[in-house]
Amino acid sequence: MMWFTDGFHWGWMLFGGLMMILFWGGVIALAVVILRAFFKDNFRSVGSDPSSPSASGTALEIPNERDAEGEVDQE
């Protein structure tokens, strides 16, 4: 029935599949960019903030610093 359309045959199916992948890839990339813009504080790496506890030093330095700042008691 559709044997003699235009000679491109399987090419249209491959083109359609490629366009579908590009479309959904673009939609997902746009969603990631929007979510990163709204929640940019949550996507930071742990060591990027110098005031974060993991960036300050050893396991014994962290409680000592928190005690010096008055965050914890001696108990």
Between residues 42 and 14, the one the model is more confident about: 14
What are the tens digits of pLDDT across the range 20-55?
Answer: 999 999 999 999 999 988 887 765 555 555 555 555
Per-residue pLDDT, 19:
96
For residues 46 and 52, the answer to whether their CB atoms sit within 8 Å is: yes
pLDDT of residue 65: 82
What element of type H or E holds 74? none
* pLDDT for the residue 34: 93
The three-state DSSP-derived secondary structure of 24-52 is: HHHHHHHHHHHHHHHCCCCCCCHHHCCCC
pLDDT for residue 49? 53
Q: What is the pTM of this model?
A: 0.46
Backbone torsions φ then ψ of 28, nearest 5 degrees: -65, -40
How far apart, in whole angstroms, are the C-alpha atoms of residue 12 and residue 51? 56
